Amino acid sequence: MAKRIDISGLSAFYGSHKAIEDISMTVEPRSVTAFIGPSGCGKSTFLRTLNRMHEVTPGGRVEGKVMLDDENLYGKDVDPVAVRRTVGMVFQRPNPFPTMSIFDNVAAGLRLNGSYKKNQLNDVVERSLKGANLWNEVKDRLNKPGSGLSGGQQQRLCIARAIAVEPDVLLMDEPCSALDPISTLAIEDLIGELKERFTIVIVTHNMQQAARVSDRTAFFNLAAVGQPGKLIEIDETERIFSNPSVQATEDYISGRFG
C-alpha cells in the first residue's frame, strides 16, 4: 500500500558536520519523485533519513519530522527496524549477499525476518523476480550464487529483494549509475510499473532519466563546499524541466552551472 511522506524541517548531521538543512517537502503516493542536484549536496543523506538508515552511520543524527501518512518516523517509540520494513531501499552499487543463491537473495528479507510460511516463499520469489523483470533470465538457475549475475542483473536482483518484503515506499539511490543503456531502460520500465503499487523516490544524475520516469522532481543545491545542502524547489517534472521558478534550477538542468 503506497503511502504519502510529509517531511518538515529536516536536518541531518555527520558528527558535527551538518549535511542537509531544514528540508520540507511532500512525496505523493503512487508516484515517482526524482531528486537531482550536484554531487555532495546531500541527496543520498536525505534519502537515507527517510528509512532511518542515516543513523546507521557512526555519528549520524537527524532533526525534524518525517510523517509516513500519520506516523512520525522519528517519534519517540518508533522502532527503526519496523520503519525499514515499510520503507525499502535499493543502493547505488548492486549488493547481493555473496553467500546466498539467487533464490535465497530474494527470499532473504522474509527469511531473516522470520515472517513467512514455507509454501509462500516460492510464490513470493517468483512474483518478485517477475516484478523486477529478471524472472526469464534466472528461472533456470535459481540455486546459483547471486554474485554470478551481470551488474544490471544484480541490480534488478536487489530490486526484487527489496520488493519481496512488500514495502510501502521504495527508495532508490542512483540505481542505474553503473548500468548499460539496455539495463537502464529495463529498470526505468520497471519503475513505471512499480509506481502503481509503491511510492517511489529515485536519486539520479541523469536529467533525461528524471524527465522520463518521474512525476515530480526536487532540486537540491548547496551554497558552497562545506555548507549544508538545501532543497531549492520541488514541482511537477514538466514544470521543472520547462519553466522552473528558480534560476539555479534552470542553470543546473541546462548545464550552465557553477
Ligand X SMILES: Nc1ncnc2c1ncn2[C@@H]1O[C@H](COP(=O)(O)OP(=O)(O)OP(=O)(O)O)[C@@H](O)[C@H]1O
Question: Residue 25 or residue 108: which is nearer to another protein going by CB?
Answer: 108
Q: What does the alpha-carbon distance between residue 208 and residue 217 come to, in Å, rounded to a whole number?
A: 12
Q: Which residue of 7, 19, 33, 44 would you call a contact of Mg ion, by CB under 5 A?
A: 44
In the shown chain, the binding pattern of residues 110 to 129 toward another protein, with x for contact by CB under 8 A and - for none, equals: -xxx----------------
36 part of the interface to ligand X, by CB under 6 A: no
Tell whether residue 34 is a contact of ligand X (CB under 6 A).
no
For ligand X, the binding residue among 57, 120, 150, 247 (CB under 6 A) is 57
From the list Mg ion, another protein, ligand X, none, which binds 187 (C-beta under 5 to 8 Å, kind-based)? none
Measuring CA to CA, which residue among 188, 176, 214, 221 is closest to residue 33?
214
User: Which positions from 130 to 149 touch another protein by CB under 8 A, shown as an x/- string?
Assistant: -----------x--xx-xx-
Asked whether position 44 contacts ligand X by CB under 6 A, the answer is yes
Our finding on whether 175 is near another protein (CB under 8 A) is no
Chain positions 79 to 98 lying near another protein, rule: CB under 8 A, are 81-86, 88-89, 91, 93, 95-98
